């Protein structure tokens, strides 16, 4: 058989399959609510971008369609894998793991996995970090050390230098004052050790104070800038420092698992965004167009979507393994992706 005859035979086979589906079959299509791709109106009818795209494809087939609704993404994929439905038109991301149990069409939409975080008030964040536990812990440790060296200098100087380091609590206070002045290198000169033991303590404290004040400065700087430093998420591995949430069973969940990022699983995007807004999460990770839809429709003014994507996603129709529908629909999908009708719908979605 020549190559020309082989190609002709395959084209005829595909056309024959299309004719068979058009004349004899009712396709059962699995759907789950995932705005703006799949959503349901008050009458319970499916609408959205995926439905619109399927209508374009179906114009080439003319088949009868029944929609079977699922409540979770995992239930939908289980339904596809077990042949409960002929296909799903939900925006399911193609992954290596999913390709082992399902077949996929040509991608009909390219997007990305994005992060949502709280916008936050910069001044409030500044003061929260300034008066943080880390800051107060550093100050408390410093005060204790100042007191220890002040007490030691008083022990040695209370007899040799009673004019500057008096008796009792007043003398201990004088030692604390000397210790603080020495640490800050102010050098008032109103108090100075004269005994050998006092000068030894003073010598040790001068060098120790340099290290202590440097450590305090670093601690304060860290407390004031930790928020801005952590906000620079340059890779998915950086998410390990945060409380992360995503949709259970999604490609986002699988992707985070690959990089050992622990994430709380939610059944809906709205629940995840509410948890983020309530402070239960630091970051919520999911598909950008779906996140953008909920951000537009809901009252999430304190949340913002990061401009960069963690990864690129390819949305495809999904089928049970070995389904003949894949070869039938792929040429139609490719043709409709180039059509003016589909591109008008995409432009209207962007607005």
Examine domains 3-109+314-350 and 125-230 and report if their fold is the same.
Answer: no
Going by pLDDT thresholds of 50, 70 and 90, the confidence category of residue 127 is low
Q: What is the pLDDT of residues 187-225, one digit of tens each?
A: 777 788 888 888 898 888 888 888 877 777 776 666 555
- The answer to whether domain 125-230 has CATH 1.10.287.70 is yes
10 Å CB burial of residue 84 (0-12, 13-18, 19+) is middle
Question: pTM of the prediction?
Answer: 0.61
Q: What is the pLDDT of residues 238-280, one digit of tens each?
A: 899 899 999 988 999 999 999 999 999 998 999 999 999 998 9
CATH fit for domain 3-109+314-350, picks 3.40.50.720, 3.40.50.1100, 3.40.220.10, 3.40.190.10: 3.40.190.10
Residue 89 reports pLDDT greater than 90: yes
DSSP 224-246: HHHHHHHT---SGGGGGGS-EEE
Q: Report residue 318: phi and psi, to 5°.
A: -115, 150
Domain boundaries, the chain: 3-109+314-350, 125-230, 233-305
Nearest residue to 50 via CA among 74, 76, 78: 76
Nearest residue to 308 via CA among 95, 147, 141, 113: 113
**Domain 233-305 is classified in which CATH homologous superfamily?**
Periplasmic binding protein-like II (3.40.190.10)
Q: Report how far residue 330's alpha carbon sits from residue 317's, in angstroms, rounded to the nearest whole number.
A: 10
Q: Report how far residue 85's alpha carbon sits from residue 92's, in angstroms, rounded to the nearest whole number.
A: 15
Q: For the beta carbon of residue 82, count every other beta carbon within 10 angstroms.
A: 10
């Amino acid at each position: 058989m020549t190559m020309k005859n082989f190609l002709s035979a395959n084209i005829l086979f595909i056309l024959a399959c299309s004719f068979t589906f058009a004349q004899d079959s009712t396709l059962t299509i699995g759907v789950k609510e995932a705005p703006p791709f799949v959503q349901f109106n008050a009458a319970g009818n499916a609408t959205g971008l995926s439905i619109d795209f399927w209508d374009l494809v179906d114009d080439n087939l003319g088949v009868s369609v029944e929609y079977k609704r699922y409540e979770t993404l995992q239930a939908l994929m289980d339904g596809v894998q077990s042949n409960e439905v002929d296909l799903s038109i939900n925006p399911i991301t193609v992954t290596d793991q999913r390709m082992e149990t399902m077949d996929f069409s040509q991608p009909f939409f390219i997007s990305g996995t994005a992060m949502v975080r709280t916008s936050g008030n910069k001044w409030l964040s500044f003061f929260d970090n300034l008066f943080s536990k880390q800051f107060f812990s550093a100050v408390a440790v410093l005060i204790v050390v100042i007191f220890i060296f002040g007490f030691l200098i008083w022990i040695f100087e209370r007899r040799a230098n009673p004019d500057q380091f008096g008796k009792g609590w007043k003398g201990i206070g004088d030692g604390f004052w000397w210790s603080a002045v020495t640490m800050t290198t102010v050098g008032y000169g109103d108090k100075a050790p004269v005994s050998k033991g006092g000068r030894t303590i003073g010598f040790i404290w001068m060098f120790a104070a340099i290290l202590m004040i440097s450590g305090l400065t670093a601690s304060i700087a860290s407390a004031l800038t930790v928020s801005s430093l952590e906000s620079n998420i340059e890779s998915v591995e950086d998410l390990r420092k945060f409380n992360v949430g995503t949709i259970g069973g999604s490609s986002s969940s699988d992707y985070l698992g690959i990089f050992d990022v622990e994430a709380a699983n939610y059944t809906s995007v709205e629940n995840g965004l509410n948890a983020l807004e309530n402070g239960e999460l630091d970051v919520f990770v999911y598909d950008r167009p779906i996140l953008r839809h909920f951000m537009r429709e809901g009252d999430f003014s304190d949340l913002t979507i990061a401009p960069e994507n963690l990864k690129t996603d390819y949305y495809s129709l999904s089928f049970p393994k070995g389904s003949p529908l894949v070869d039938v629909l792929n040429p139609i999908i490719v043709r409709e992706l180039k059509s003016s009708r589909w591109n008008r719908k995409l432009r209207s979605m962007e607005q």
